[in-house]
Amino acid sequence: MTALTITAKGQITLRRELLQFLGIAPGQHVEVHKLANGVLALQAVAPQGLEAFAGCLPPPNKALSVEEMNTVIAKGWAGQE
């Protein structure tokens, strides 16, 4: 069991190991469910909409200028690539 300290503001900080166990990433929202006998349950809120899609692709190998992007787009529309 892990003991946590309550701050003067009534806040707690979950240790990294607990966040990893719950599958919660920085910036992600959580739901707190009140159970019987003073027990709380935390659950990660699944991202929805564009937030769920963002970051699913790997970063590009190199950044392109606007002119380079326009060239690639034009070639794609022309069926050249």
Instruction: Give domain status of residue 73, yes or no.
Output: no
CATH of the domain at 32: 2.10.260.10
Instruction: Give domain status of residue 59, yes or no.
Output: no
Q: Which domain holds residue 11?
A: 1-47
Cα(20)–Cα(5) distance, rounded to whole angstroms?
19
Cα(44)–Cα(31) distance, rounded to whole angstroms?
6
Cα(44)–Cα(27) distance, rounded to whole angstroms?
11
Instruction: Give domain status of residue 19, yes or no.
Output: yes
pLDDT digits (tens, 9 = 90+) for 18-62: 888 888 888 888 999 999 999 999 888 877 777 667 777 788 888
pLDDT confidence band for 11 (50 / 70 / 90) = very high
Number of domains in the chain: 1
Instruction: Give domain status of residue 64, yes or no.
Output: no
Instruction: Give domain status of residue 60, yes or no.
Output: no
Instruction: Give domain status of residue 80, yes or no.
Output: no
* pLDDT value, residue 27: 82
Question: What does the angle CA 28 – CA 34 – CA 35 come to, to the nearest 5 degrees?
Answer: 125
